[in-house]
Structure 1
Amino acid sequence: MLQSLESLVIRHTRRLPSPTGPAGEGDVAARQFDAALMSVGFKLSADLLERLSGLCEGAVVDIAVRTLATVREMVGDHVRHNVYFIDFPSNVPKTFDFWMSCIAGALDDDASRAGTLDQLRTGVVDLLTLPSYGNYRHTYAEMLAHHDGLIAAAGDRMTVLHLGEGLMSELSALYRALAGSSTPLGEDGLGDLRVLARICVHDPQPEAITVRENRAIVNEARVKADVPPLLDTVTDVLRLACALSGGDVSLRAPTRFRAMSRRVRRVLLGGLDAVVAAAPAKLADVPPYREVWKRLGERLHPHEYPQWPHAAEVFAVARGEKRARSFDSRVEALLGADDVFGATQLLRTAPGKLLRSLDHLLRTASTDGEREAVVVAVEEAVTEVSGRVLLSVREHFHNRGEDPGERRVFVNRLGRAWIGSDDRPPVPSAERKRLVAALDGEIRRRLPAVDRLLIDPDVLDVALPLSGKATASGLGVLPRGSVSPVEGDLLRFFVYWKQTRHRTDYDLSALVLDADYRTVSWLSYTSLAEVEGEHSGDITDAPEGASEFINLRLGAVRGTFVVPMVNIYAGEGFEDVAESFFGFMLRDAEQRGRPFEPHTVRMKSELRGPGRVALPLVFLRGSDGRWQAKWLHLYLRGTPTANRVEENQVSVARLVRGVVEREQLTVRHLTEMMADGATGPTLWDGTTVPEEPVTFIGLERPDGLHPESRVLTPENLRDLIPD
């Protein structure tokens, strides 16, 4: 339990909770711990090293064992990464030559000779029937023996672990940060919040919990601890019921409600009654989830509790016995009747919905007067809308010029992406400029005053984390649309997966596109070696886990874009396997080492999404010849089996084009506003840290910052979003 809680803090904060143990002379063990961390791309901060040195050797060793296990998993070094071709990236054969050698080997094998001859007579050979294809032909130890040690380089990643507060203090602070987040958390973030909410249910709580999914998780812990839940809408009660049944608090997937104790039924029905009694109009929120409410009613038995008549009204609405038109249906009816004035007036009572409906209203408006009414309503409502909505709408209109594009990229909350035609009429320029000015003015007003702002230039092009759903869990992962520099001669992708029950074959591929998004070449199991680089070989079964790699020489790439992808050829999906993750490493040309070297890993992200094709990011070459990564975190539906880069290249190119050419709001947008009122805003040179407290925004916290500094890194960048 201790290790899992420490691990949770380290993953989210890059801080090690203040080590405890008997005093002693642990300096030697602490330095050995630091050296072991450096082998996987981490190191101890100066104050953490000093703290450990004052403990006894045994305590330091125990802490080191726990911490090393955590950071190795963060970087993907907790598993053994073997390769099919033992010398990879050297001596990788041409695809045709390799296949012919597999056939020759099958003909030399008494057990497979007859079947292979039969296939050759038909003109088609199934590679999976060849004994030498698809499975490792050597052990992990034998593979390591073929590779020299890694030559250290100045550009290797080094992530600093800082000294934290006591474990319970760290857990409580992290709980408040996650529960009070102004943006939705990803799946792993919600899982961590569930753990923390149980531990911190009696600790100080966030000032507000505005994200409804977060509130449901917190309410689940409160009910189980016999603490009154926080409920102000009927849907809060529904989400809480789903949480208590182990269901989906986002309400996207159906929940199978469990039998509930009388105490829990009283909590839910009593809360429901109080919400409706205080605001009967909230019954209008019931119809969108009518069927879910019916199923919940079968578990709650509201007829047994006549003392809560308002709760019974909810289920009467769900059954159609009582009419309560939803807010959205009233808006749709007005727009269907071309009553833009009426729809705008109604939406003005729900400012968030007004801003989300803004594009539709402007497209529906047919007169200058209607458009003026819409813009005026928005200018009045911006002060009542969350910062996340303001920024989302601001980004939307930044990409909505007078000329609509031919194609439009759609991405749902799970990362499933698809392309559709963009037949929307343009938004008039005058109204668009007024709206952008109103949104920027309100955002600027809400940003905190900053005495001294210190900014790492590499963070400026990171997309604002408006939703945790747009970012996968992992190390060095940035929100969808972020751009980060790529510095190195060799770029190496890797994928690892371990199947649960069925034979599972994932195929790592890389598609090279030119400036017009046309295919130049690709690397995959069907194209093992090209001018650009090499593929490590196809693994088709992963009961003990399997890895595939692609090695790219960036100077040899003939195109403008490199798109790594993971195709599911057969077996379990990304959400069904025991484990799966993707990442990339960067190396200098003279560096050798194993196929997988943890301290050259720049990014490792979990693969957990819908669809059969994963697109983690795209690499693009600028006009100056320098390479950058743009983060996608997207999944294509693909086909049930046999997904290959050859079949996906057109749809992938269209999708990549849509994402690359869309401009996200970035950290730069907010920091330029913050700098307007800051004293001496500066760009960090990467070496010197000021002695006085600052607000630092960067990819990682520098060692030696004043302890009272406010630090914003990708792990807590959501705190930059104004309320």
Structure 2
Amino acid sequence: MAHDFDALVIRHTHRLSSPQGSAGQGAVVARQFDAALASVGFKLSAQLLERLSGLSEAAVVRTARRTLRTVSEMVGDHVQHNSYFIDFPANVPDTEEFWMRCVTQALADKTSRESVVEQLTHGMLDLLSLPVYGRYQHTYEEMLAAQDELIASARDRVTVLHLGSDLDTELTSLYLALAGSTTPLGEEHLLDLKALAERCALGPQPESIPVRENRAAVNAARLAVGADLLLDTVTDVLRLACALSGGDVTLREPTRFRTLSRPARRALLAGLDTVIAANPAKLADVHAHREPFKRLGERLHPHEYPRWPHAADVFAVARGEKPAWSFDSRVEKRLDEFDVLGAVRLLQSAPGKLFRSLDLLLRTAADQEERDAVVAAAVRVAPEVSGRVVLSVREHFHNRERETGEARIFINSRGRGWVTPDVRPPVPAADRDRLISALDAEIRRRLPAPRRLLLDPDVLDVALPLSGRATTAGLGVLPRGSLSTVDGEQLRFFAYWKETEKRTDYDLSALLLNADYSTDSWLSYTSLTAAGAEHSGDVTEAPEGASEFINLSLGRVRSTFIVPQVNIYAGEGFEETAESFFGFMLRDGEQKGRPFEPRTVRMKSELRGVGRVALPLVFRREDDGRWRAKWLHLYLKGISSANRVEENQVSVAKAVRALVERQQLTVWYLVDLMSDDSTVVDLWDGEPVPDEPVLYIGLERPEGLHPDSTAITLENLRDVIPG
């Protein structure tokens, strides 16, 4: 598949690779380009506008077409968003009144009358049997004609596009950043890394590739050009085999291994042989993925290559023909015998595993002497543990202050969540506090000490992106657990989906909860108006794509929480549709406009999780009456069909409560650690930036930063996580 690398740069960096073309008088067309961008909530930086103005008009037009296509897709304006009720949010009828109108029209229709009469006779009615229900009754153009123009507001979103370097430089820089990321990438970014690795395999390489999935993508590209592979575990080889077969390098889903070329088979077997020859104990790692290794062995034919006997041992272990005690089983044996000190001695050789076992070790320890030994071991190995794991454990113990028996939420790498009571015994407070202090000291040691720090206040409550899988792809999307301010009077949700093969019905809904998480009311196709809000109407099929909207006047909502959700009522899952996404817009009270106005979009995220109920975020009314959003990126299992807000309100409320009351480590935590007496810390309020180099951390890069400054924004926020 061909990749649009210019679009990739824009999505990841909000920069345009330096526009190319002959010199000319492009100022007029460049300003027209800037105006067109404004209609979707973007603008050109002064430097980029100046660069475009010096090119020919034809060059500017080429750049404009490519860029507008990309940013329109980023914000969700690449599709037509129709609404069932033509003048939504005006004139949305009461639900029962609307249904009666549909029945009346069906009874007047000769083709449907007999079926409807029969259903009514039996006291049941299938809404889908009504000719006008669930299907657009007007064209997109007719809907546009019925809407007032949007009134511009100073609070409309404006995303600045900056001037970048030439395309090769931008791609190399992006490749190095993604490949060398200290945190796992989301699915979309991992696909982007694969494309970049294929292009950049022979160029500069990152000093290290700590994330194994990233290493698999890079190794696949290196194998194609004959470069040395980066392998130090048998699982690295398995992931590479998955990459070569177009499978899942995260190993979450089974891969159907392809018939591999002889050079690829030789490379994989030689890699396995080298890893085991260097450390035979790594044979024990095979147990974690025995079935995939057995299937891979059937493709690699290790018996044909006797010069790599250690590779054959790998598959012998997978088949159970050769014993290999796993490290985890030896640790479990010690813990089963309540030999905490023995388990600690073993785990010190695997610092990451030790850190992930700290809670269990502290709970299992028989006395203070053993707990002291656990904490001392953690302090000793801390410098060898990745920053992401140190921070994750730090966040874990911070939340262990909560009462035993409260709700505990589990969220897997694909966003599926489930809630269970926390029945773990507490960790003694003194041991927890000692550990937290030690972890803070270790993180502080790894952080830079900037001379001048420039901060956007809005970034301080953004949760640290400890995994790219805790954030979905999209525009303005924050990591799970982040808090952001809601600064409009009208809040409008939107969901769009386009079915692939079979009729698919998604239902955008919103659950309104009281302060104790009990249900106040809801908005859905069964409740079109409630609490000063309007639902745009139920669309029940999407062969050409469909949209649903919910509009809320925040000043009229008396509930404490607003929980938007997308329920799969029928048809394809979120990962099966041709396209599906969710987002929200914010408007001032009198702005009017179409149901979907791209420059009012504050967030648009892909719906691509496993589960039948999507919970992107929750809105909470604070004590001062202001609203803030907390980001969830959560999917609940739901049922196979007919998921409805009325039926899932209890499970949704439990999940929301568990996440709302959990405290995440935020950017503010790291800023506090990296700031000392010699650091000048300024809060950026939109005024001109300093004319000296700074470390800037904010939601978006401001214009005019000194060229030697370092800018951390949403696009590269993972860079704040120390290695």
| CA deviations over 1:11-35 (Å, ceiling 9, x no partner) | 0000000000010000000000000
Report the AA paired with residue 347 of structure 2: L
Contact 1:532/1:558 (8 A) holds in 2: no
1:174 correspondence with 2:177: no
Q: Structure 2 matches for 1:495-534, cutoff 5 A?
A: 495-534=495-534
Q: Which residues of 2 match residues 284-323 of structure 1 at below 5 A? A: 284-323=284-323
CA contact (8 A) 2:490 2:552 kept: yes
Q: In the alignment, which residue of structure 1 is the partner of 2:105? A: 105
> Do the aligned residues in 2 keep the contact of 1:33 with 1:64 (CA within 8 Å)?
yes
**Residue 619 of structure 1 corresponds to which residue in structure 2?**
619
Q: Provide the TM-score with structure 1 as the length reference.
A: 0.99
CA distance in 1, matches of 2:287, 2:119: 60
User: Who is 1:162 aligned against?
Assistant: 162
Pairing of 1:247-396 with structure 2 (within 5 A)? 247-396=247-396
1:659 has 2:624 as partner: no
* 8 A contact 1:135–1:541 mirrored in 2: yes
- Find the counterpart in structure 2 of residue 64 from structure 1: 64
Hey, what does 1:415 align to over in structure 2? 415
Contact 2:3 2:195 (8 Å CA) reproduced: no
Q: Give per-residue Cα distances to partners, 1:209-268, cap 9 Å, x unaligned.
A: 000000000001111112121111111111111111111111121111111111111101
Give CA-to-partner distance per residue, 1:679-709, whole Å, 9 cap, x none: 3111111222111111100000011111221
The answer to whether residue 362 in structure 2 is matched with residue 401 in structure 1 is: no
Q: Distance in 2 between matches of 1:701 and 1:387?
A: 25
Q: Which amino acid aligns with 1:403?
A: E
Given that residues 612 and 643 in structure 2 are in contact (C-alpha distance below 8 angstroms), is that contact kept between their aligned partners in structure 1? yes
Q: 1:215 maps to which residue?
A: 215
Any stretches of 5+ residues in structure 1 without a counterpart?
A: none
1:6 and 1:402 map into 2 onto residues whose CA distance is 48
Shift of 1:403: 2.9
Distance 2:290 2:161 in 1: 49
SS at match of 1:341: helix
What are the residue-to-residue correspondences of 1:122-133 with 2, within 5 Å? 122-133=122-133
Residue 402 of structure 1: how far off its partner (Å)? 6.4
SS at match of 1:681: strand
> Structure 1 CA distance, aligned partners of 2:486 and 2:531?
20
Aligned to 1:48: 48
Letter in 2 for 1:484: S
Give structure 1 regions of 4+ aligned residues with deviation exceeding 4 angstroms.
Answer: none
1:679 aligns with 2:665: no
What is the match of residue 25 of structure 1?
Answer: 25
Cα distance, 1:530 vs structure 2:
1.2
2:449, 2:676 within 8 Å by CA — same for their partners in 1? no
TM-superposed CA distance for 1:3, in Å, is: 7.7
Name the CA distance, whole Å, in 2 between partners of 1:59 and 1:678. Answer: 48
Residues in 1 aligned to 2:88 and 2:702: alpha-carbon distance in whole angstroms: 36
Write out per-residue CA displacement over residues 124-182 of structure 1, whole angstroms, 9 at most, x where no aligned residue. Answer: 11000000100000011111111111100110000000000000110010000000000
Name the counterpart of 1:463.
463
The aligned residue for residue 93 of structure 1 is 93
Q: Which amino acid is the alignment partner of residue 117 of structure 1?
A: V
Q: Which whole-Å CA distance do the structure 2 matches of 1:277 and 1:417 have between them? A: 41
Match of 1:697 in 2: 697
The one-letter amino acid of 1:518's match is: S
Task: Answer yes or no: is the 8 Å Cα contact 2:498–2:544 preserved in 1.
Answer: yes
Alpha-carbon contact 2:688-2:704 (below 8 Å) kept: no
Contact 2:511/2:521 (<8 A) preserved: yes
Q: Report the Cα offset of residue 549 of structure 1.
A: 0.2
Question: Aligned to 1:521, what secondary structure does the other structure show?
Answer: strand
| Alpha-carbon distance, 1:531 to partner | 2.6
Count of aligned residue pairs for this structure pair: 723
- Report how far residue 323 of structure 1 moved: 1.1
Equivalents in 2 of 1:687, 1:91: separation in Å?
43
Question: Could you report, residue by residue, the CA deviation over 1:351-373 in whole angstroms, capped at 9, with x for unpaired residues?
Answer: 00000000111111121111111
The one-character-per-residue Cα deviations of 1:297-340 (angstroms, maximum 9, x if unpaired) are 11111111111111111112112222111111111111011111
Identify which range, 80-89 or 395-404, moves more after superposition. 395-404
Secondary structure, counterpart of 2:635 in structure 1: strand
State the Cα distance separating 1:96 from its structure 2 match. 0.2
Separation of aligned partners in 1, 2:396 and 2:699: 26
- Distance, in Å, in 1 between the alignment partners of 2:351 and 2:20 is 50
Q: Whole-Å Cα distance in 2 between the matches of residues 472 and 378 of structure 1?
A: 33
Asked whether the 8 Å contact 2:400–2:427 carries over to 1, the reply is: yes
Alpha-carbon offset, residue 2 of structure 1: 9.0
Say whether 1:237 aligns with 2:232: no
Q: Write the deviation string for residues 594-635 of structure 1: whole angstroms up to 9, x where unpaired.
A: 110000000000000001000000000111111000000000
Give the Å deviation of 1:678: 4.8
Paired residue secondary structure (1:492): strand
After superposition, the C-alpha distances for 1:645-681 in whole angstroms (9 at most, x for unaligned) are: 0001011011100000000000000011112255311
What is residue 640 of structure 1 aligned with on the other side? 640
Instruction: Return the alpha-carbon distance in structure 2 between the equivalents of residues 603 and 165 of structure 1.
Output: 27
**Counterpart for residue 585 of structure 1:** 585
What is residue 450 of structure 1 aligned with on the other side?
Answer: 450
So what's the TM-score if we normalise by structure 2? Answer: 0.99
Aligned to 2:541: 541
Determine if contact 2:449/2:675 at 8 Å carries over to the other structure.
no
In structure 2, list runs of 5 or more residues that go unmatched.
none
**Per-residue displacement from partner, 1:163-206 (whole Å, max 9, x unpaired)?**
00000110010000000000000000100001000000011000
Give, in angstroms, the shift of residue 532 of structure 1: 2.5
Matches of 1:422 and 1:88, distance apart in 2: 45
Q: Using the alignment, how far apart are the partners of 2:167 and 2:553 within structure 1?
A: 44
* Structure 1 range deviating more: 705-714 or 36-45: 705-714
Shift of 1:405: 3.9
1:347-402 deviation line (CA, Å, top 9, x unaligned): 01100000000011111112111111111101111111010000000000000016
- Secondary structure at the aligned position of 1:177 is classed as helix
Contact 1:449 1:677 in 2 (8 A): no
RMSD in angstroms over aligned alpha carbons? Answer: 1.0
Do the aligned residues in 1 keep the contact of 2:239 with 2:250 (CA within 8 Å)? yes
**How much identity, in percent, do the aligned residues show?**
69
Q: Alpha-carbon deviation of 1:90?
A: 0.3
